[in-house]
Structure 1
């Protein structure tokens, strides 16, 4: 594995520093997808957090690297037609969900390095104590809230025929975390109501998981951050009937119109899931752009309602050459 990582990192470095790479990326836009910036890097290193979380040192390392190789621009500068392209490729940062640590940990570093960003809010969570199931269930099973809540949840999962694997008690921290990651991925198939019930079996945290509207407006007033909708309830849009799909899109749109001065004309699909029916509804609600999760660079072509992004994990934030290797792969037809 270490050799593969070294080859990817070396290839990524060569790509960005070669005439071939510079020519392929000339006039291109790269959209990055992040979720959370935790308060320390060791917490973000664990496999069950790695994909959604980065630590502050890794995030700052990424920002410095991006400014060295790209023009860091607002998302709309990449998406607007006829925008002037500079010699260097452009990159835009996006954050999904609207986690509270976006304000506490990410925003100060964005300000320090003057890197703009767009945050896409699951609007039902903003200003409420509603919780994201992955975080609540995962951290309870990890033991972050103590052994008693952990055992309670394990017993409850057993009673509904979703027993946790034995390796969740493995003495090796990385193996245990990887087991938890795979278990949580398996829970994604459960009915949303069941996931909500499981979340209710987890202890409340001292702080809300999501931003509040005061934090949203404060970041927006800086001129560095803009906000868009990421669903209302974070429901997977492809699984909703037409009526509930329309309500979900409308509710998130209206919340942004009430809570922000200049909400983005960009929708961001929860989990990236979309199909022709969903895209038609998004267009009917007057969104000219929408973000998916497929990898690729943006040149103003392709479906504007399924725009590509590159996900950033703790691993790639620590080693941005891995990101440039993925960008290289994303430029290929």
Structure 2
């Protein structure tokens, strides 16, 4: 595995520093997808956090690397390019959900390195104590809130026929974390109401998980960050009937217009899930662009309502050459 990673990192570095790579990326836009920036890197290293979280050191390392190889631009500059595009490829940062640590940990580093970003808000959570099920259930099962809440949730999950794996008690931390990751991924298929009930069985945290509207407006006023909708309740849009789908999109759109001065004309699909019916509804609500989670670079072609992005994990933030390898794969004709 180490040799395979080394080959990818080396190939990625060669790609970005070769005439072939520069030619392939000329005039192209790369959109990156992040979620959280935690307060320390050790917490972000664990497998059940790695995909959605980066630590501050890894995030700053990523920003420095991006500025070296790309022009870091606002998302709309990629989606609506002007005639002044430079020779270098462009990259835009996006954050999904609207986590509170976007303001506490990500924003100061974006300011320090003057890298613009777009944050897509699950609007029901903003300014409320409503919780993201993945975080609440995951951290309770991990034991972050103590053994008593952990055992209570385990017993509740057993009672509704979703028992946790035995390996969740494994003495090896990485193996236990990987088991938790796979278990949480399996819960994604549950009905949103069931996930909400499971979240209610978890202890309430001292701080809200999501941003509030004051933080949103403060970041927006900096001129460095813009905001768009990421659903209202974070429900998977493809699983909603037509009425609920329209309500979800309308509610999130209206919240953005009420809470922001200049919301983005871009929708971001929760979990990236979309189909023709969902895209038609997004267009009907006057969004010319929408972000998915499929990998690829943006050249102004393809479906503007299913734009590609490259996900950034703690692993790739620490080793951005792995990201350049994925960009290379996504840029091939």
Q: Does TM, scored on the shorter chain, surpass 0.5?
A: yes
Superposed displacement of residue 332, structure 1 = 1.7
Residues in 2 aligned to 1:180 and 1:148: alpha-carbon distance in whole angstroms = 18
Deviations 1:120-161 (A, max 9, x none): 000000000000000000000000000000000000001111
Superposed displacement of residue 237, structure 1 = 0.5
Q: Per the alignment, in what secondary structure is the counterpart of residue 262 of structure 1?
A: coil
Residues in 2 aligned to 1:82 and 1:100: alpha-carbon distance in whole angstroms = 33
Structure 2, unaligned runs of 5 or more: none
Residues in 2 aligned to 1:169 and 1:240: alpha-carbon distance in whole angstroms = 36
The answer to whether the Cα contact below 8 Å between 1:292 and 1:308 also exists between their aligned partners in 2 is yes
The answer to whether the Cα contact below 8 Å between 1:145 and 1:203 also exists between their aligned partners in 2 is yes
Match of 1:107 in 2: 107
Superposed displacement of residue 44, structure 1 = 0.1
Superposed displacement of residue 274, structure 1 = 0.4
Superposed displacement of residue 83, structure 1 = 4.6
Q: Per the alignment, in what secondary structure is the counterpart of residue 254 of structure 1?
A: helix
The answer to whether the Cα contact below 8 Å between 1:77 and 1:83 also exists between their aligned partners in 2 is no
TM-score where L is the length of structure 1 = 0.99
TM-score where L is the length of structure 2 = 0.99
Residues in 2 aligned to 1:83 and 1:246: alpha-carbon distance in whole angstroms = 37
Superposed displacement of residue 37, structure 1 = 0.1
Question: Following superposition of structure 1 onto structure 2, how do residues 1-333 of structure 1 map, counting pairs within 5 Å?
Answer: 1-333=1-333
Superposed displacement of residue 82, structure 1 = 4.3
Superposed displacement of residue 216, structure 1 = 0.1
The answer to whether the Cα contact below 8 Å between 2:72 and 2:116 also exists between their aligned partners in 1 is yes
The answer to whether the Cα contact below 8 Å between 2:230 and 2:267 also exists between their aligned partners in 1 is yes
The answer to whether the Cα contact below 8 Å between 1:230 and 1:267 also exists between their aligned partners in 2 is yes
Superposed displacement of residue 84, structure 1 = 3.0
Deviations 1:221-258 (A, max 9, x none): 00000000000000000111111111100000000000
Deviations 1:199-226 (A, max 9, x none): 0000000000000000000000000000
Residues in 2 aligned to 1:82 and 1:171: alpha-carbon distance in whole angstroms = 55
The answer to whether the Cα contact below 8 Å between 2:24 and 2:332 also exists between their aligned partners in 1 is no
RMSD over aligned Cα atoms: 0.6
Superposed displacement of residue 85, structure 1 = 1.6
Residues in 1 aligned to 2:71 and 2:190: alpha-carbon distance in whole angstroms = 41
Residues in 2 aligned to 1:262 and 1:124: alpha-carbon distance in whole angstroms = 19
Residues in 1 aligned to 2:183 and 2:157: alpha-carbon distance in whole angstroms = 12
